[in-house]
Structure 1
């Protein structure tokens, strides 16, 4: 009886101690959890559209610590890591008792430490809570933390913490940062030698740094390769071959592309781990290479900028705010893609597009390039010479100023500005000024991004798109009216795509326009194919003059080099739409063979005055009208057309196609081919035109 009583008391005491110990451990576990929150601090990353790293930022304490998931690394590296560091990683609960026993036996029999018993979980505990001294108490804390970590995280999460925090020398932490710093690539595809070196370095990262201690790095790598568990992973003979591979002797800089865009992203959304952009890494790399090489040929204080956008989606695929962000002499920190500058002659294609749309001219229409006075405004050509009479095609290709102003005088500066608003582009006028003729020669402010957005509508068949900012401003195809009619865009593109490339450049199949602002302050070149638009600006960020720069000589060579090296395939321009055709001068209506018209539509006399005869005006149907002609029933009725003013005979056109014959009457009839939008135009004997857009149903 007495013995049974003692047994009962002893059993109760043991149970009490067990419960107390368990409760104490549970309390300690809850009261002193592992610092997993601080382990989440990683470098901010700016990524391209495909998730590739464009630029990384160091952590607040100056570490390059890129978040690394299991999917981010080569599976063979993971197998080698577990085989070398912790073969029973997936079986133990934080500590490996078999490894501890083996290490203790080796210590007793050899009198020194032969192998360690630290598991990956214990190493993670040390990495997220570094110990200042290598003491027995510190080791016990590490063991306790490893058990805590195992209770809270899955094996996959523990492995990812190791992959993110493992030290690799200097301020490099994590496998991704290490692979980029030592091999210049992401760790998704590693050679056997590279994987073995990344397994070996964390055990003694400073003593094994390959740039400082190459022999120690080679020896450590060899120990990894000769481990039996690793040899099972590498395959027959691969470990031996890997031993002959050299180790990297230089630490590389981590990717630092799209500096201005990356800085802007960090400012707008501080604290985020990653920022997805619309840029394409390959395109961005090549554009920056071109910019860096081109800047070496420019004067010391001259900068350059580039924007490349997808005209179908509005996505910026490449952007260079300056040739070198850190070049103080060129004010490299200023993002010149967002700064208002004078666009020079780059707006001329839109003036000509309006003139084509209103049927004021055709490509072979003759136009005067002689000194002219527009109510006190006397434009001069860039080279201060005049060509006399030229065709409209030649005038645009030669970028002659006087013909462009004549056409702008006819179509109206306000109408041009309204068209830019359709494309969500807003050129800035000087304070307290209304749109005037000077805007055709650069008398407004516009950013490179907005200029590319305007040209994107030309590349997109007239449909405006909003070019995003690459990060948080979403690109979009705008639900606005077309910037210009397809026939007008085709004429402009046909002319610009036939321009000779700059000296030394080969033809690329792109349409392009150049511009030089007043006082030689800005040189521009914008080009587009059937898909992409690329804009180039060259000048001084302080708006100082740069004698000798010009769009054709300075910016166009950079445009052609960047377009050809960007890696995007050249997309052909669309085929000519219905009604778009190049006519010789003899095939043109008499009124379109020579342009001589004022903004009011009056014909200029030989003395510069005007007749009293008003320009033609379509009075029916009105602009934007919806006309029910029975299209749904399948038996359409003709539409009556009425006009006022103008000099007979009149030529009517529907969607660019002439109706049957010239008519001296001010009424006519037109039978549509089907329902939908159509453009009706009338041209009188003096070449003056009027147009309306109607919807037939």
Structure 2
């Protein structure tokens, strides 16, 4: 040690020089050899190529790949550098031979460069090929040999070697010239790519085919002589043809590629996409597009999620339409009018809050809230319908009435908890139209919400009846990402498991569209909870369905917002939804969350908890919050004479002769529409004429609605049509008197309809029955 120190002190300059040289040698090689922009590449969950976006410099240059297929590795070593694994970065023998030949010929006839030297040359692009530059390459090559393994050096070469035209790197060349992954190439194909970089400006697919063919076959012959391949493989290989022109790269998920490029530009990203499912969904969308475009409907999107992992299995952002119809627009994350697709959330919220039971009867009658006048799609009314049936049939009026009863702010709070990012305004901005498409959302958020509800139910049944704190996590299309559902808790995340299950039970009852839009019950082996939606003006249609394992979401419409007749969810989006489910594996139906439910007696006719007056009851499992709901209000105990045709009381009948009977009674307006749909409905019998103490008389307008502006058209003779007024009375046989602006018009009995021709302007209509009950309605007549 002392001798070394003494030597250094005596030879300071020499020692310093050695240190400087060593430092220069150590730092002479850049930390990052290649800085060229690369293409953005996406692959499936099994690393199958789904698509690529060309690099910013216009080159098909895939991101660096550390893996070099064995066949190509063997070919390139045998063709370029047979002593690759023996030399320290340069081959003195090859250099000496090349130098002698070049000096003899007076030009550059032979290179003598090793693969390592070629890697250095590729990284120092644009440098002139001089002897001084050659010395630099040798120095840098030896430095690279110290830094990197032989396999790493090979991967540098294969990822950055030019293969003709704008194709750089083995991975891009394999797809451009042979339309498959490099690991799947034959010996002939691998040999073809191995010889290409050697003279890429002169020889490439489609040009100088004979020269390329001969170079490839010479390499194959060498492989046979080296006993790397046998004679049969050699004969088969030389019989293979050459690629004639580049193939277009796969574009299996182009809109997902766009999305990935936003955050992972120039990278190779393994996605969660299942290629077989993606291919099938692409075909389904393409087939439906051919039909839809006949009605000038050009765009559609489909998203498929795995409920358990929250991974994206298929991502189709648009149809294969043209640029004029915005084929490059990814509709999946674009805000569109929701139509009726939010109705299941209201139903679940009301169940969760204990405001209704699954089959509670709700009113389905003409309704007006200020100037807002919701109507059902078919403009018909049922009078009364179970909440479950209202949901499965997507009836608008019951939904709006339920929202008004539940509370707009209250429901808005639930929607915000779903993290719907396009729900940007307060509740009052949307009003009651919120439930019918007054708000906007996107396919991603809606599918995410349905997946979260399904996952909540699954987790509750899989654990000891517990929930997860982060159930509404964002789905992912990155295969490296695992969703963290948070911690287990006894507290529900948003909706309790029973409310979700009962909502799905209702949505499962919807019928499935088949060919030619006919309706049949869907095969019970594939039970699906699903919902459609159609926005105002037929601009957007939706269909979202869920099973225990999968969520499928479909949007159909025009990206520019143009509405089209026939653009209805059940006719356009639903058929796509079910075709997609047909290609997915079967799922079991959700298990019933018994720990969040209790069996109670329920009135079969009203859906309420059974009261003592209910004549038909059934024990059903309801959500625990439903225990606080009111008992049935529609069954009353009536007292009848022995004919059961009249009501009686003690003033007209001996109590020993009175028959006490339970009777299902609806309010007059509900009854008016209900009995038209339900022929077995029996109105409450009238009191016998000799009885006293009649009460409970109710009178309601059916038409016109409050503060309604009415236009009276003219017939073919130029005469103004009549305005027909309609009234519902709890005792239809009662005499009703009609007044217009306090002017008596006439009376009706049994059927309370009255025709009149009011003049233009504002009027008040007054009706009075023979018992003095009165009702008024303001209207305005317009011409």
2:150 paired residue among 139, 150, 155: 155
1:398 corresponds in structure 2 to 393
- Change in Cα spacing, 1:388 to 1:178, as seen in structure 2 (3 Å) is same
The CA deviation string for residues 74-112 of structure 1, in whole angstroms up to 9 with x for no partner, is 223212321232121111122223334566788999999
Structure 2: stretches of 5+ with no match in the other structure:
1-10, 458-466, 635-783
Does 1:43 pair with 2:1? no
1:445 corresponds in structure 2 to 440
Matches of residues 290-329 of structure 1 in structure 2 within 5 Å? 290-299=284-293, 302-323=298-319, 327-329=322-324
Q: CA deviation at 1:120?
A: 1.0
2:498 corresponds in structure 1 to 487
- Change in Cα spacing, 1:594 to 1:429, as seen in structure 2 (3 Å) is farther
Cα contact 1:365–1:594 (8 A) shared by 2: yes
What is the aligned residue count?
594
Q: CA deviation at 1:375?
A: 5.4
1: CA distance between counterparts of 2:129 and 2:100? 21
Matches of residues 591-602 of structure 1 in structure 2 within 5 Å? 593-594=605-606
Matches of residues 332-481 of structure 1 in structure 2 within 5 Å? 332-357=327-352, 367-374=362-369, 377-387=372-382, 390-425=385-420, 428=423, 433=428, 436-462=431-457, 464-468=471-475, 470=477, 475-477=483-485, 481=492
Cα contact 2:63–2:268 (8 A) shared by 1: no
2: CA distance between counterparts of 1:109 and 1:489? 86
Q: CA deviation at 1:519?
A: 0.8
Does 1:528 pair with 2:546? yes
Cα contact 2:390–2:398 (8 A) shared by 1: yes
Q: CA deviation at 1:423?
A: 3.1
The CA deviation string for residues 376-401 of structure 1, in whole angstroms up to 9 with x for no partner, is 54321113233555554443332222
- Change in Cα spacing, 1:236 to 1:415, as seen in structure 2 (3 Å) is farther
Report the secondary structure of 2:303's partner residue.
strand
Cα contact 2:298–2:557 (8 A) shared by 1: yes
Cα contact 2:357–2:607 (8 A) shared by 1: no
Q: CA deviation at 1:201?
A: 1.6
Answer with 1 or 2: which has the greater Rg. Answer: 2
2: CA distance between counterparts of 1:443 and 1:24? 75
2:529 paired residue among 491, 511, 519: 511
Cα contact 1:519–1:545 (8 A) shared by 2: yes
- Change in Cα spacing, 1:41 to 1:116, as seen in structure 2 (3 Å) is closer
Cα contact 1:208–1:220 (8 A) shared by 2: no
Q: CA deviation at 1:129?
A: 2.3
2: CA distance between counterparts of 1:234 and 1:166? 25
2:632 corresponds in structure 1 to 686
Q: CA deviation at 1:222?
A: 1.1
Cα contact 1:580–1:656 (8 A) shared by 2: no
1:186 corresponds in structure 2 to 181
Cα contact 1:351–1:416 (8 A) shared by 2: yes
1: CA distance between counterparts of 2:325 and 2:482? 30
Q: CA deviation at 1:24?
A: 12
Matches of residues 73-222 of structure 1 in structure 2 within 5 Å? 73-100=68-95, 117-130=112-125, 139-222=134-217
Report the secondary structure of 1:549's partner residue.
coil
Report the secondary structure of 1:309's partner residue.
strand
2: CA distance between counterparts of 1:248 and 1:170? 14
- Change in Cα spacing, 1:564 to 1:207, as seen in structure 2 (3 Å) is farther
- Change in Cα spacing, 1:131 to 1:434, as seen in structure 2 (3 Å) is closer
- Change in Cα spacing, 1:264 to 1:217, as seen in structure 2 (3 Å) is same
1:589 paired residue among 588, 599, 602: 602
Cα contact 1:321–1:334 (8 A) shared by 2: yes
| TM-score (normalizing by structure 2) | 0.65
1: CA distance between counterparts of 2:422 and 2:107? 78
2: CA distance between counterparts of 1:41 and 1:594? 72
* 91-100 vs 447-456, greater mean Cα deviation: 91-100
- Change in Cα spacing, 1:429 to 1:27, as seen in structure 2 (3 Å) is closer
Q: CA deviation at 1:515?
A: 0.6
Structure 1: stretches of 5+ with no match in the other structure:
1-15, 597-615, 617-645, 659-676, 689-697
Cα contact 1:181–1:252 (8 A) shared by 2: yes
Q: CA deviation at 1:303?
A: 2.3
Report the secondary structure of 1:443's partner residue.
coil
2: CA distance between counterparts of 1:253 and 1:415? 53
1:634 corresponds in structure 2 to none
Cα contact 2:318–2:327 (8 A) shared by 1: yes
Report the secondary structure of 1:440's partner residue.
helix
1: CA distance between counterparts of 2:103 and 2:353? 98
Q: CA deviation at 1:681?
A: 0.9
2:593 corresponds in structure 1 to 577
Please identify which structure carries the higher strand content.
Answer: 2
The CA deviation string for residues 91-145 of structure 1, in whole angstroms up to 9 with x for no partner, is 1122223334566788999999997633212222332224566655555554454
Q: CA deviation at 1:528?
A: 1.2
Cα contact 2:40–2:54 (8 A) shared by 1: no
Q: CA deviation at 1:360?
A: 5.9
Cα RMSD between the aligned structures? 4.4
Matches of residues 658-669 of structure 1 in structure 2 within 5 Å? none
2:60 corresponds in structure 1 to 64
| TM-score (normalizing by structure 1) | 0.73
1:496 corresponds in structure 2 to 507
* 463-472 vs 299-308, greater mean Cα deviation: 463-472
The CA deviation string for residues 542-564 of structure 1, in whole angstroms up to 9 with x for no partner, is 33323321111111122223343
Q: CA deviation at 1:220?
A: 2.5
- Change in Cα spacing, 1:366 to 1:656, as seen in structure 2 (3 Å) is closer
Q: CA deviation at 1:465?
A: 2.2
2: CA distance between counterparts of 1:124 and 1:383? 72
1:550 corresponds in structure 2 to 568
Cα contact 1:311–1:465 (8 A) shared by 2: no
2:756 corresponds in structure 1 to none
The CA deviation string for residues 261-295 of structure 1, in whole angstroms up to 9 with x for no partner, is 5445444466x644565444554454444444444
1: CA distance between counterparts of 2:103 and 2:492? 86
- Change in Cα spacing, 1:82 to 1:412, as seen in structure 2 (3 Å) is same
Q: CA deviation at 1:368?
A: 4.8
Cα contact 2:309–2:482 (8 A) shared by 1: no
Cα contact 1:465–1:475 (8 A) shared by 2: no
Report the secondary structure of 2:531's partner residue.
strand
Report the secondary structure of 1:533's partner residue.
strand
1: CA distance between counterparts of 2:191 and 2:612? 88
Q: CA deviation at 1:329?
A: 1.6
Q: CA deviation at 1:35?
A: 5.8
Report the secondary structure of 2:302's partner residue.
strand
Q: CA deviation at 1:214?
A: 4.0
